[in-house]
Structure 1
Amino acid sequence: MKRYLLNILGLFFPILLWAQGGQYDVVIVGGTPGGIMTAIAASREGKTAVILERSGHIGGLPANGLGATDISTRGATTGLFTEFVGHILDYYVEKYGKDSEQVKMCSDGYHFEPHVAAWVFDQMLAPEKERVTVLTMRQFDAKPSNVVMEGAQIKSIRIYNRETKKTEQYIGKVFVDATYEGDLGAAAGVPYSIGRESRDEYNEKGAGRLYKLWLGPELEGSTYEGDGNIQAYNYRLCLTNDPDNRIMPEKPKRYNRKEFLSLVDDVYSGTFAGVEMLDVTPEMQEANRKHIESGGTTQIPGDPWGIAKITNMVDLPNHKTDANNQHLALISTDLPEENWQWPTADWKWRDRFAQRLKEYTLGLLWFAQNDKDLPEAFKANVREWGLAKDEYLDNDHFPRQVYVREGRRLHGKHFFTANDALPVAEGCRPPLYANSITASHYALDSHAVHKREKGKIALDGFFNYRAAVYTVPFGVILPQKVDNLLIPVPASATHVGFSTLRMEPCWMALGQAAGIAAALSIKQNKPVKELAVADVQEALVKEKATLIYFRDISVDSPDFEMIQYMGLRGYVTDWNANLDAPVDAATAERWSTMSGIRIDRFAGKTRGEILRALYSLIK
């Protein structure tokens, strides 16, 4: 009788699970832009997907103040990211008119208000509503007990519904970790790194303990030794100087004036962390102090003044700004050291830190606007700015999400390092990966790891080094040990390598690749790591995703698919394809060797004509 009952329960167990959660082709943890693009890409390939988001809103940082898109070369990253940018531009054109100030300030769709980003994500998901389910207030706790494994595959995950206070179970064929923290991968047993590698480990610029002035040299005290510490988090504030839409920050209940007192001397002395400080003398600083005491502003070259002393602001439409941590400051909206536990902490701890960071940020603003020891001219400048009244209406006009710049970095088939983003020689590309799933471009960029230290004129861990447009190998989203998991957000990289991958355009592109890979894995009944990368690339290119960037070829070019294919296979490695130019003898010989086809049969043809012919013959 007992065995009979067990068999009956076994028959109905999947139905019970479905009632408590759901069954989908692709289960995505994290409503970040990377997670959203994963769902859209999978849906366009005909697969069902669910996005499980812990908060009450999807959209990650672009919907929470990061309105100044972090990309150094526009056109390097395309596909769904370009669609996102296009929707932003369309919004401002349709609402305000093509010749409006708002359209000008949106910078072709790359600069936007938080609520507009949230709206655009909804618009992009709307056509996929038959196959994509979005569930908010669904919390995943990074415990192995919340992942049901069968061998090297995830069969289901358990999610805590924060509204009903009940546990739900989600069954999937492919799972995606789109969290900023890497929670799902860690719970599933994927190895990961936290903190900084030493310089010796991968011979990376910027690695380990490092003191560096902004745009300046590395300083004494830099040991380049690794540690387990992570770069600071902050909130990307949406500030405005429009009196009709401005709410002045109030003094938080747990205000600690002592935390901000160092700002007073910085203002009067003109102290900041830029390269110009190397030429500042004590005499200049004393003269600056007297000038400010008499009612003037700073005279130290390069020294930010007023609101710019504590935030680095980029203009957005409607008199708003994306106010980030000031990279020239020794005290700003970042809160180093106190976030070190975040990657592996539970959500109770994370929520406490989020509140602490909010109070710290509001306290800094209030201090800069009101403290008795600051000069009146400085305070008057800061008082021009306040929180935007029409943003985050359910959260006191304050961002809902902490800027988690770096959590766990899950280990994958490829470990992306700083050297993958730096040119192999002057004027050349970084290493070219034939298995690329996106091109991308941003500097190697990390925020401080430690707070201000006595005797140091720079913060440990803060760096910015120029990179070049690079290719991202498929292996950075293919985790070790788990066969049906993809990791487009907590991607496989060193601390310095991750410092460029972690930008939202790149995360969106990796999400698109993850969605396509998930769909192909299901269609072909193969583990994701056994997919032919050429199949993933072909599907990406058809969706106008750039895998290798050329300055003279856009996604709208009739040669786009051809040059992506031939470029990744090494036929064209210069920054320009130069398709209308003649072929030189050395290139003709190289192409003949690579293809096994004599190029002299195409005598008198241009580079483009020959490449098109080779493409049709090879492919």
Structure 2
Amino acid sequence: MKVKHIIFILTLFAHGVAFGQYDLVIVGGTPGGIMAGISAARLGKTSVILERTNHIGGLPANGLGATDIATRGATTGLFSEFIGRVKKYYVTTYGENSKQAKDCSDGFHFEPAVAERILEQMLAEHKDKITVLKMRQFDAFQKNITLRNDGIEAIRILNRESQAQEEYTGKVFLDATYEGDLGAAANVPFRLGREGHDEFNEPGAGIVYKYWGGAEGEGTTLQGDNAVQSYNYRLCLTNQASNRVEIKKPAMYNRDEYVSLINDVWTGRHTGVQMLGVTEAMLEENRKHIAKGNPSKIPGDVWGIARITNMVSLPNEKTDGNNQHMAFISTDLPEENWPWPTSGWAWRDAYAQRLRSYIEGLFYFAQNDKELPQHFRKAAKEWGFAKDEYTDNGNFPRQVYVREGRRFEGEYFFTAKDATAVTPGQRPPVHAGSITASHYALDSHAVRKREPNRIHLDGFLSYPSQVYTVPFGVMVPKILDNLLLPVPVSGSHIGFSTLRMEPCWMAIGQAAGTAAALAIDKKVKVRNVDLRDLQSSLLDQSATLLYYKDIHAGDPDFKMVQVLGLLGYLPAWEARLNDAVDAPTLLLWETLSHSKLAAEPGKTSRKDVLQFLYKNL
């Protein structure tokens, strides 16, 4: 080592700088970051995961216990391993025939503490390869990143406990934050807000007012803007008295924020498509009905605490409490979160406290305000926070549900067309460079608070999609050679709205860790990793790259079907290996393979022909 390098290092130590050198430097202990570290570790690579808080796990460890996935089996790999461990935990702990084992829904529903415990266990199994450092804050300033030769050489992190600066060097860097702070510091171009319909011809793009479950209504212009979809906390609630904590009035309680709920409750007015058949006379009649001690009779209306939060059951009589989609006022707090993606942590922390206070105030109002019907308040008071969750944070989630932060402009830009069928009943476009299959609706929450005479909140929408493929390019920036973006991926507001689900992020993270390991082994830029090698490795890890209804990870012919499917041999939803090949299919396969196949239509099985093709690729 040269003398000037020794002097430089000694100077940094004198200023409280610590060093760490790893194959992968991962910013963000989200599930996407965790799975990246695990997949890289299983390929022999070292990682450091730098997590800002005292807890890893992101949203699954903070209330999002009802897994957001529309087609089970579409996303597998490490995500399947995670849910498999969830199921095993409940079966082992409570018994195979227990209510807890049933309520875990084959591992797709889980308590926050269980999610954190399992993710910690998965990391601990690779402690020789993965270093997890908590209370490490990355601030998105250029001074905190060293760029050299079109790559990142080092980043600097604040140790929130010691207040010392620490420096980490690595071969590949991953931004696994919900906000996209590392990519921003590295000057990767990004987008915020909503594209207009005119840019990508997407459903739901721009300004949209839409009945929940219905069509767009008055006020819809489809124009783009800078609005960011709202955040909330995913609450863990229970109505079990032995484990219920009363929700108390917060110090910053402002009753005026919630008074619009009073008339909604008394009349039954809500934001669902059922309101198309409801008249003002029906709303007034409902008021009289409620005054007699009855619950609401308006179609689609809900009573009690469900009026302000949508609840999905979890084991041990708990719920995943999300924003109520059918309400004008719920746990989302639109508009005020718009600065979050590009703000510093001081602002974010202040907003997080504001959001917590707002939600606690909303529940206190619903349970106690005397202008609400007494029997409504009584029903609402049956619920409280789960006493055995978040015990170091007043039983309240620690992580804001950041639904959307920066969206980087990568090698591939994902839009709604990538998740919707080319023709009805068929697949969306199949990406030959797929790193995972996934499926969730095109789904976004509101960007603005309640406005007069609108049928719903601006931007609160859902449109159907089909199981789709995610190309490698969504996490590869157009600049820099050793950076991957597995969480703040590349896409439009609507395209990102389906990619942003944790199962998909886990799968993209797994692919990121695998790609990083291959890049290091082959001594190539991450963007130049051989996609066939990446896909082969992912398939060996039981990842699903192209979903089939009749062939699943673990089946003997799974890898063959996946590889040939991505090459265009199996465009339908089923592989039908045991069926006889027909003449049109045989012609397709001969065209794709540029060869004459020794097969007889109506007699030779599809499986036999495909196995021949696979062996001779």
TM (norm. structure 2) is: 0.98
The aligned residue for residue 358 of structure 2 is 360
1:17 touches 1:170 (CA, 8 Å); kept in 2? Answer: no
How far is the alpha carbon of 1:295 from its aligned partner? 1.1
After TM superposition, list the pairs within 5 Å mapping 1:66-465 onto structure 2: 66-465=64-463
522-531 vs 6-15, greater mean Cα deviation: 6-15
The aligned residue for residue 607 of structure 2 is 608
Give CA-to-partner distance per residue, 1:185-240, whole Å, 9 cap, x none.
00001000001000010000110000000010100110000011100000000000
How far is the alpha carbon of 1:602 from its aligned partner? 6.0
Output the amino acid matched with 1:568: L
Measured in 2, the distance between the counterparts of 1:181 and 1:10 equals 32
Measured in 2, the distance between the counterparts of 1:214 and 1:201 equals 25
- Aligned-partner SS, 1:133: strand
Give CA-to-partner distance per residue, 1:63-96, whole Å, 9 cap, x none.
0000000000000000000000000001001100
How far is the alpha carbon of 1:123 from its aligned partner? 1.3
The aligned residue for residue 471 of structure 2 is 473
Measured in 1, the distance between the counterparts of 2:416 and 2:530 equals 26
1:77 touches 1:509 (CA, 8 Å); kept in 2? Answer: yes
How far is the alpha carbon of 1:480 from its aligned partner? 1.6
Measured in 2, the distance between the counterparts of 1:310 and 1:230 equals 21
Gaps of 5+ in 2: none
Measured in 1, the distance between the counterparts of 2:13 and 2:358 equals 48
Measured in 1, the distance between the counterparts of 2:246 and 2:63 equals 17
1:335 touches 1:357 (CA, 8 Å); kept in 2? Answer: yes
Measured in 2, the distance between the counterparts of 1:90 and 1:500 equals 28
Give CA-to-partner distance per residue, 1:388-434, whole Å, 9 cap, x none.
00000100000001000000001100000011000111100001000
CA RMSD of aligned residues (A): 1.5
Measured in 1, the distance between the counterparts of 2:441 and 2:11 equals 50
1:342 touches 1:407 (CA, 8 Å); kept in 2? Answer: yes
The aligned residue for residue 537 of structure 1 is 535
- Aligned-partner SS, 2:321: strand
- Aligned-partner SS, 2:310: strand
1:602 touches 1:610 (CA, 8 Å); kept in 2? Answer: no
1:17 touches 1:169 (CA, 8 Å); kept in 2? Answer: no
Task: Give the percent of matched residue pairs that are identical in Structure 1 and Structure 2.
Answer: 59
- Aligned-partner SS, 2:4: helix
How far is the alpha carbon of 1:18 from its aligned partner? 11
The aligned residue for residue 589 of structure 2 is 591
Give CA-to-partner distance per residue, 1:73-131, whole Å, 9 cap, x none.
00000000000000000100110000000000000000000000000101111211000
Instruction: Mark the CA change 1:275 to 1:11 in structure 2 (over 3 Å): closer, same or farther.
Output: closer
Measured in 1, the distance between the counterparts of 2:451 and 2:258 equals 14
- Aligned-partner SS, 1:276: helix
The aligned residue for residue 576 of structure 1 is 574
How far is the alpha carbon of 1:305 from its aligned partner? 1.1
How far is the alpha carbon of 1:19 from its aligned partner? 7.0
Measured in 2, the distance between the counterparts of 1:287 and 1:37 equals 54
1:38 touches 1:514 (CA, 8 Å); kept in 2? Answer: yes
Measured in 2, the distance between the counterparts of 1:197 and 1:576 equals 35
The aligned residue for residue 63 of structure 1 is 61
Question: Which of 49, 52, 63 is residue 51 of structure 1 equivalent to?
Answer: 49
Measured in 2, the distance between the counterparts of 1:6 and 1:303 equals 72
1:516 touches 1:539 (CA, 8 Å); kept in 2? Answer: yes
- Aligned-partner SS, 1:23: strand
TM (norm. structure 1) is: 0.98
Give CA-to-partner distance per residue, 1:579-599, whole Å, 9 cap, x none.
111111111111111112212
2:599 touches 2:609 (CA, 8 Å); kept in 1? Answer: no
1:588 touches 1:600 (CA, 8 Å); kept in 2? Answer: no
Output the amino acid matched with 1:194: L
The aligned residue for residue 524 of structure 1 is 522
Output the amino acid matched with 2:610: L
Output the amino acid matched with 2:448: H
Output the amino acid matched with 2:353: Q
Measured in 1, the distance between the counterparts of 2:202 and 2:590 equals 37
Measured in 2, the distance between the counterparts of 1:213 and 1:135 equals 45
Gaps of 5+ in 1: none
Instruction: Mark the CA change 1:468 to 1:110 in structure 2 (over 3 Å): closer, same or farther.
Output: same
The aligned residue for residue 548 of structure 2 is 550
